[in-house]
Structure 1
Amino acid sequence: MAKGQGKVVAMNKKANHDFAIEETIEAGIVLQGTEIKSIRNSKVQLKDAFVRIRNNEAWISNMHISAYDHGNQFNHDPLRARKLLLHKKQISTLIGRTKEQGYAIVPLKMYVKDGFAKVLIGVGKGKKNYDKREDLKKKDAKREMARVLKSKQQY
């Protein structure tokens, strides 16, 4: 857990694989009904989620929050678009960054901080296939070095 951050309930591992994240912003999220209870139970999936700016408001789409188990007719739609709570200045910088070629806004992780659900969104440039392969090679080399060092320490 990072400093100043609450319980992490969902992470988007695919985002760091597909995008080179350059900037991150913490945003609140508008929820309805039993959504916060599902979030606290870690029933959230950010895998295919993305952020769009519409009418100078940030909206997160394709984020799946499962229906609450003990809910009744007041349960929510799991895939509905949810509004993100950001300052106007933050939204204007996001608009400026996404107008550049190849940039996108993706959610990186969701966590509960001081009783409120927060989403860490990142602005990143899409990676090409050769960039992804290069990252995998670096990751494998680092893992191999750690394994060799660990085996040398044992002797």
Structure 2
Amino acid sequence: MAEDSIKLIANNKKAFHDYFIEEKYEAGISLAGTEVKSLRQGKCSIKEAWVSIDKGEAYICGMNISPYEKGNIFNKDPLRVRKLLLHKTEIRKLDQASQVQGYTLVPLEVYFKRGKVKVQIGLAKGKKLYDKRETTAKRDQQREAMRDYKVSLR
């Protein structure tokens, strides 16, 4: 196995559609044992999740980790608020940046890195409707150009 092997559990494609991602940070996440087992099975959703900072601590809210089938009484609430593990300086920097109008913190990916569960969070600025249309138009143009290029090679 590679030194920095990463196994993706969940990603948030909608975040890239709805926001401009300015900066990315990697954070650990505080979990119970049955939650980790459920994540190993890939049962996680971060589509509606967000990151909040309260009293110098970072938390991820709205992240859904399905209960582990064999977990019985040890299972936790699937939508509970979970603590993110970041350095104090990073938390302060993120808190100041998220106070600016139009900026928010969103989770982008959840993955295993060296056996530990990590969350990639992004400092994001909301897109307007015309920005979303522009992004879609650019993607369609690139797709069309690649299609034309493939046809010209034949």
Q: TM-score, length-normalised on structure 2?
A: 0.96
Matches within 5 A, 1:1-155: 4=4, 6-154=6-154
Q: Specify the code of the residue in structure 1 equivalent to 2:114.
A: D
Structure 1 stretches of 5 or more lacking a match?
none
Write out the 4+ residue segments of structure 1 that deviate beyond 4 Å after TM superposition.
none
Letter in 2 for 1:15: A
**Contact 1:23 1:122 (C-alpha < 8 Å) held by counterparts:** yes
Q: How far apart, CA to CA, are the structure 1 residues paired with 2:132 and 2:5?
A: 29
Secondary structure of the 1:112 match is strand
User: Does the CA-based 8 Å contact 2:4-2:114 persist in structure 1?
Assistant: no
- Percent of counterpart pairs with the same letter? 52
1:92 alignment partner, SS class: helix
Contact persistence 1:33–1:76 (CA under 8 A): no
1:142 partner SS = helix
User: When the two structures are aligned, how many residues end up with a matched partner?
Assistant: 152
SS in 2 for 1:34: helix
CA distance in 2, matches of 1:113, 1:148: 39
Matches of 2:141 and 2:4 in 1, distance apart?
Answer: 32
CA distance in 2, matches of 1:116, 1:107: 17
Q: CA RMSD in A?
A: 1.1
Looking at structure 1, the residues matched to 30 and 96 of structure 2 have their Cα atoms a distance apart, in angstroms, of 24
Shift of 1:99: 1.1
Deviations 1:29-80 (Å, cap 9, x if unpaired)? 0001300011111100010100000111000000000011222111111000
Give unpaired runs (5+ residues) of structure 2. Answer: none
Give the whole-Å Cα distance in 2 for the aligned partners of 1:94 and 1:141. 35
Asked whether the 8 Å contact 1:35–1:65 carries over to 2, the reply is yes
Matches of 2:124 and 2:57, distance apart in 1: 19
1:42 aligned counterpart, secondary structure: coil
State TM-score, norm by structure 1: 0.95
